[in-house]
Amino acid sequence: MKPSPPRYCRVGNSSSSSNSKDEVGVGSDGPRSRGDSLRVLCQPGFDGGLPQTFLLEVRHNGRELVANLSVAFRPHFRLVGLAPNTAFTLDVYSMNAKGRSKPVRLKARTRNALPADVKYSFSAGKWKGAPAVGDGGGITLWI
């Protein structure tokens, strides 16, 4: 018998950089902007009496396939390196030797990227005969 679809699926922005042992991720684990990650968590449905695998298809604007992931045990996925402030359609399936379940469709949007760290400088000194910046007579403030 084919498996039932995963249950109680939810998707949200991810800020954690660690994977659990049964979670699969896609993308670079290197430096990235915050907001480019999504986490999908579901509960397994009925397995049809057979071992099952869980599949996740991620599409940009519901069309272009961005990622196709599979994992055994639990349907937990983490996606990193996605375009910020972008809408995605996520289809989660269960699969066993008899076939694939109907999809659970989720929609999500990654957060806006945070601007790069910006340093502001402020210099102050006497207007009359003020020393040049760096002469020790002015004040420099870095924020």
Fold of 7-109: Immunoglobulin-like (2.60.40)
Q: One digit per residue, pLDDT tens: the chain, 143 residues?
A: 999 999 999 998 875 444 444 444 555 444 444 568 899 999 999 999 999 999 999 999 778 999 899 999 899 999 888 888 889 999 999 999 999 999 999 999 988 876 554 444 444 444 455 444 444 444 433 33
Q: What is the pLDDT of residues 77-99, one digit of tens each?
A: 998 888 888 899 999 999 999 99
CA distance 52 to 136: 70
Residues 6 or more apart whose CB falls under 8 angstroms from that of 133 comprise: 123, 125, 140
Segments making up each domain of the chain, as ranges: 7-109
Output Rg (C-alpha) for the chain, integer angstroms.
Answer: 24
The residue length of the chain stands at: 143
**pTM of the predicted structure, to 2 decimals:** 0.68
> Which residue, 47, 58, 51, 52, is CA-closest to 25?
58
Q: Which pLDDT does position 37 carry in this prediction?
A: 87
Q: What is the DSSP letter of 45?
A: -
Residue for token pair 């760096």 = 134
